[in-house]
Structure 1
Amino acid sequence: LGELELFRGYLLLLDQLLAQAPRGVRPMLGKIEVLLEKMTLGGLRRWASWGISAYRSDFAAQVEFFGLNTPQSLAVLQQERRGVLFIDVQRRLIMYLRALWGRDFFLRPTSGDYETREGYQPYIENYFIHVPDAYDDVENARGGKTAALELYRAAAAHAAAHVVFSRYDPRFELAKPLQRLWIGILEDARVEHLAIQKFPGLFPLWQHLGRLPACVEQAAEPETVAIMDRISLALLDADYADPHPFVAKAREAFIRVLAAEEDVYDVLMAAAEKLAEECEKSSWNYSVQKDQSESPYRDDNRYLWTAPATDWSGDPLSGGQAQVHKYVSIMEMINAVDVETAGDDAQEVWVLATEFYDDDGLTFNEKEGKTPVSQPVNYSEWDYQTQLERPLWVTVYEKHPKMGDPSEINTMLEQQKPLVQRLRKLIEAVQPQGVVRTRKVEDGDEIDINAAILAMTDIRMGQQPDPRIGIRTRLNIRDLSVMLLVDLSESTNDLLRTRSEGDVSVLHLAREATALLAEALERIGDPYMLCGFDSNGRHDVEFYKFKDFDAPYDDKVKGRLAGMTGQLSTRMGAALRHAGHLLDQRASQKKLILLLTDGEPADNDVRDPQYLRFDTKKAVEELNRKGIRTFCLSLDPYADEYVSRIFGQRNYLVLDHVDKLPEKLPQLYISMTK
């Protein structure tokens, strides 16, 4: 069904069946997939109503009819069968409009094939374009057919042109019915004219549908509907000839509307009023209810004279009202809160600055709370087969990491005390900060007296003097920001047999290496950030911050490192783009991302192993253009096959002995940043 309102209509149909033909509910639900593949909701309702009226008192026949076991049931099904369902072409229509206008449009199906004609005509309401949930192929006067998909495209393109070019005007809302008729005709023609100027290929699509029999019939005394559709066709197609006097008058008015430079709606309103007066003088019989346009693709223009809901603050994707977060005091929370454990659909959520305890001593967050998740961040992804970016293809969520016991990290550091002492000596040898004086240079800032005396001595003795008698003074500052990005996929839970500790997981070694690197960075003084990532398809890439740049390295950070878990997959390109986005906000001169992984890029919704490799390579190239260096430390023994192509010849290291990871990672960083 693809829409909340249609699903509610489906539930109402089931409720009607339970009341009038209960024996047919179970067999119908057993065939519901077949029924909904061939019929719209309206068709299903009429098919069910036929069975109810025919076999109201025959329970056995109800079972046979609703189970599609009788010729009558199949005949009615064939009669109600529709051509193309909206749910089958929705994605194509959305991409079609995005390709035209470079922006997103929201499409919804509307079920219009009940007893009335309401819903057959598209309309625009609350940011959504509503189109019928099914279209049949349309026959023309020459015996040919227009495909239902073309009809969907024409309807969607016309409504999108209204969203782009039209706007609400209060004068339209106060206009008389006959004036509204002309406002709609002129505005439809105006937006189509502007759209065709940008995309000429839309003209044959709309022109072909405008020449349907109901639109071009020129009888001696045509009905009002036929005249309206002929005028619409004449304004769209300049080559269309029509002897009716109102066609010429409408064309003259439309030329004035197109020539308007400032407020086009002033000219359009004046033209509509004048044409409406001419119609009244000609004794037009126009009824809003009866005289509806026969154009199969144009909307009902309610978008023009319905004031937008200024207080409508809902989510356009869900169609619901926005959830309000209200910050309250402890007494308000105790005395006035309605439901402590309300779900995600609550209209209002109260937020307390401190923890709120229940009678058993546990907080409501511990009992019923959910882990807070940041707003989604979308990134593009590179498709190597088409050599194009897929815009806003991947969604990254920053999530709070689980807390562990910080004493585990302290115990590990105590066990690795010899290694910590060796790292301390390496850190002390790192290039110091401050003023550095370099001797024996030719073009220094000052003269080295001792070197100058030796040079003069050589000259007196007739020997070649050393020209390097200068001293250069420079300020040496380690202006560097670094981010450690750890792969937390399911494969990090694999056990490895090490020489010293027996069977340990890759995740355990990564945790030790991260803690040791953090200790080294704390001593060096470089600002750093510790992060991890995993993924569950392109819509859910999880990014964890264990330590931010400005946060202290304390027990809270150690607790997060102790709580590291391995799960899901490795969508590496999206994680690198998000890491680069965070690192790009730093003002440091040099920026470095250290990626620690145990395998190649992979995810559960990607079958082509080359796809994510090329996307990661593209992400590394994007970071390089931003001045961010990416270095990969891989624990995969077969990584040589792909890692050099992704990161470059000098930007990776494959560790042969994984148990040496806690020692190698800090040493690698120190050697890279000397």
Structure 2
Amino acid sequence: MRRLDEAAARSMASSDDAIGWGRLDMPDDVVARACARLDMTLRAFGHGDVRAAAMADTAAWVEGGAPAPALAGDGAANVVLTSGGLMVPEGVLHDQALHRAVAAHALAHLRHTPTGVPAGRMKAMTLAVLSLLEDARVERLLAAELPGLGRCLEQALFVGESDPGLDFSSLALRLARAIARPSHGDGNYWVEKGREAFERLWRAGARRREDYTALGQMLANDLGQMRVRMDPDHYVRPRHRDDDSWLWRHPADAEQVLLASQAQDTSAGEGAAATDATPVAPLEPPAPLEPSAAQERRGPHAPNARAVAPALSAQRGTAEPRERPELPAPGRVFHYPEWHHRAGLLRENWCRLEEFGPGALPLPSAAASAASAASAESTRGPAQSSAPLQRKRSKKRSAMGALRLPRAHDLDRAHRLRRQGEGETLDINAAIEAAVDRRGGTMPDPRMFIRPGRRVRSVSVLVLLDLSESANDRGQDGHSLLDRERDAALMLAAAAGAAGHRVAIHGFHSNTRQNVRYLRLFDFGQPLDAVAHARIDAQQAAWSTRLGAALRHATALLTVAHHAPTARRASPARYTPNAPNAPNTPNARRAILVITDGAPSDIDVHDSRHLVEDARTAIAQARGQGIACHCLAVDGNAVDDVRRMFGPRGHDIVTDPAVLPVRLARAFARLLI
């Protein structure tokens, strides 16, 4: 190994002497002789078939031999390594230290990287993260063989000082530096997570390219959750690294594949997660990748340096989560605390929640809906048509009244009925209120007696829907979890309302603690008519799941409704459970039913336990105020977190989303016992 390193040093030194690097004055001579020097270096290591050539660089060359920045600026060309040659920007060839690093990095790929792995339909961000890990892997392997070249590659990453930015290019450079120099502390959660995972794999003996595929997809997914924007046109790599053309084989007609993928995304309503569900094909030997329809994602970027910009430009934003459409008017703003489980502290006014009532939510017109459906049908082929899905949903909606609650809702109990017009004993509280009303000059309520009787227990239930981005995921039958949630909630509202109970349907999602949106889709006492159905159907899912803040707001709404004074009416018979001002007597139960697909998360929270513990605290506070909380989780992998939040008897795991309405009705019935 030492002999090889000495040979590398002698080769580069002899080429320096032969070319006379320090005596060059004309830039053209520098470029020509630098290319010859690269050829000699590659030939010395047995890669003489790879010839070096200069390419135009729009980035300005720093006069006087000043070090170039570690990252190329916008518009600077990248090094391109292919089976036929090594194309190096002129600005890189003018820097001797950078020129050495280019040769070392190209040699690392030529010795250790299988070329032409099919990129399939992986997104630009996933490809970039996987390429970064592959660069780190081969550079570390080369450093083990030739330590001198390893030091050269490490120094090339630390040329110049860069601000610790949070854009994709900055995070990628910070991760590359952290892997190249493990003692370099960065402090960023994502960077440290990637470095620790890389070191863990390396210590476990992972030396193959495919050993790091799962790590790359996980890191890309984390960037998507963090809302990091990956703009391929402005992604700048370290100057000595190539543009990854050596690593991937892209489809011949990238534009056609891109258009087909975008059409598929439109028909499926797929959320833009940063990770790619399509696995990388085996590296030995490379085989064409044939993803299924459910795994198809937006198109790849172009196969070489000259075509990479336009092809990647067409994908701009594909790694970004779909933005939530802006609502027509700002809603009411509330501030709620959040529990910090490590500090044991309830941080006051930590979360900003914006509430939107039914009037502020989008309600598409029938004409617009029909036009949208007709347009979708005309642009999608028969295999992608949504007509079968619409027919299925129509059948479900037509059968909404057929949903029957379990017999538990018919149970009644003996009660002492208070505030009666006649009875055996006097209701002391009602009598005191009547005396206060007389002193105040208002008409007292004549119902001041208590009598025994039996009465069906009524319940006021708030169904809280998780409207995060993951609710857009579709099952094998083509229905998304959001469709299942809406159907189940509407079916329960119809059945419970017919039985004399009060049901409201609300939803929530979040984008950091400063932007939690709470949507009152269907309020207590509203008619469940076509307008309510259209309003709920028009809602979209996006962003993340900050459950604790939404639970605190739902608790506050139920508490205010419970203690608000009710209107006086002439006849007690006119008080109906579904009326907007229906009385909430002390024996009427209040409950929150949460429908979610897993544990809470948000992009500004990196501790997986933080929001779980906060939601657990919010649930305990709600139960302390007499409000029952129950959860239906449609993700069996989140059973531990759901049990931690809601308790062993406060949750149900729904493995089949198709039975969600039945399971929701059973959970509702248990509240009546």
Q: TM-score, normalised by structure 1?
A: 0.37
Task: Give the structure, 1 or 2, with the largest relative contact order (CA under 8 Å, sep 6 or more).
Answer: 2
Kindly name which structure, 1 or 2, has the bigger radius of gyration based on alpha carbons: 1
Q: TM-score, normalised by structure 2?
A: 0.37
